[in-house]
Structure 1
């Protein structure tokens, strides 16, 4: 049903330090540079930095993960550890490093099978939710599939256009937290079919056209379903 992650938006207090972190420290190309918003390219997904001037706001203290080629991991570690207090985690044969951006978002750089060079995609987003079961049923209705449940029953991992982690309030690896009022954009062949799948579960439908549907889920996250033709 959902075929791709179009964007993740983060709320930033000041654009310039956030822009420097992502454009210079992480070397993400800048796609658009406005007065209250900067859009950068994380592979095919837009990473949006947004001042809190209107709704939807970007996510606060959002933990999310960016893809890097496995062979570049040590280079990234050496480069970033000179300035940041990094943490590391091992997932099977893959490693991830963790650091924080200027606005307190926990950024993971993880080894993935991507071409690169540098950051080449966004493969995971963590949302904070009030009820794990309610949120899981909501996202499963959109086609996500549950692949793991945390031992503490505070976390569920689902696979879809990207990995989606749903967390009841707690601290994860590197003391990361799930994001609140996160703004996610998804590509889909049929926005209205996506709405039909969850219409009885949303808190509010913000906008509905043939090419784009915008809703708020029960935890206050903003979801946009946009047709592929409208994304091009």
Structure 2
């Protein structure tokens, strides 16, 4: 059912400071801005920086991953190493570097095969969950596929077209990253109403919007189904 990640919202204390960080450090373009939020572009996914003034809030201490071309990885590392305590890990043949934004979110830049210069997508978001089995059931009902699990089952990785969700029971991951709490995501689906029907028995709330249907998952994360 889920075909793309449309947005990830992060809660920030100082919207000017936070947006300057992403514009200057990661060269993200501005989509739109207001007094309460700034929306930046990471490929087809919007990164929303939001003051905590309404519900849904943005996610706190959220770990997420952005795609950069492999040909530029060394340049990104050199550019960021002077200002951040970078943590680097390799997954198969792909390298990723980790660092933190001003609000304590763990940002990962991972190599991809894409040829587009700069940050050109968001390929992973980590959610903190209370019970893995319950969270796995919810997201597999949305059509995501389990592709990896931790040896002690403290984490599960699920994939849809082009991106992944990691579900973590509370713990510190690579680079001392944590799963996000009260995260706000937007996902593209073929039919928002049919998607709601697949999980309606397990959601905590439902809100019908002009452009989609917003639900709250069993762990309090907001997921909005938009047609696409």
TM-score between both structures, scaled by the size of structure 1: 0.96
Deviations 1:42-89 (A, max 9, x none): 011100000000000000000000000011100000000011110000
1:201 matched to 2:206? no
| Alpha-carbon distance between aligned partners in 2 of 1:33 and 1:115, rounded to the nearest angstrom | 29
> Which residue number in structure 1 is paired with residue 158 of structure 2?
158
Alignment of 1:49-198 (within 5 A): 49-161=49-161, 162-198=163-199
Unaligned runs of 5+ in 1: none
Report the Cα offset of residue 212 of structure 1: 1.1
Which piece of structure 1 moves more, 119-128 or 109-118? 109-118
Distance in 2 separating the partners of 1:49 and 1:184: 12
1:202 & 1:112 partners in 2: Cα distance? 34
How many residue pairs get matched? 227
Rounded to whole Å, the distance in 2 between the matches of 1:44 and 1:104 is: 24
Distance 1:201 1:177, change over 3 A: same
Counterpart secondary structure, 1:83: coil
Q: Which sections of structure 2, spanning at least 5 residues, go unmatched? A: none
Scaled by the length of structure 2, what TM-score is found?
A: 0.98
For residues 24-43 of structure 1, give each alpha carbon's deviation from its aligned partner in whole angstroms, at most 9, with x where no partner exists: 11100011121110000001
Secondary structure in 2 aligned to 1:74?
helix
Q: Distance in 1 between the 2:115 and 2:121 partners?
A: 10
Q: Which range moves more in the overlay, 173-182 or 109-118?
A: 109-118
Cα deviations by residue, 1:140-187 (Å, 9 ceiling, x for unpaired)? 000000011101210000101411100000000000000000000011
Helix, strand or coil: the match of 2:109? strand
Helix, strand or coil: the match of 1:134? Answer: helix
The alpha-carbon deviation at position 208 of structure 1 amounts to 6.0
- Deviations along 1:97-140, whole A, 9 cap, x unmatched? 00000000000000011122000000000000000000001000
Counterpart of 2:28? 28
Cα root mean square deviation, aligned:
1.0
Deviation, 1:206, is: 2.1
Mean Cα deviation higher: 76-85 or 198-207: 198-207
Give the 5 Å matches for 1:210-229: 211-228=211-228
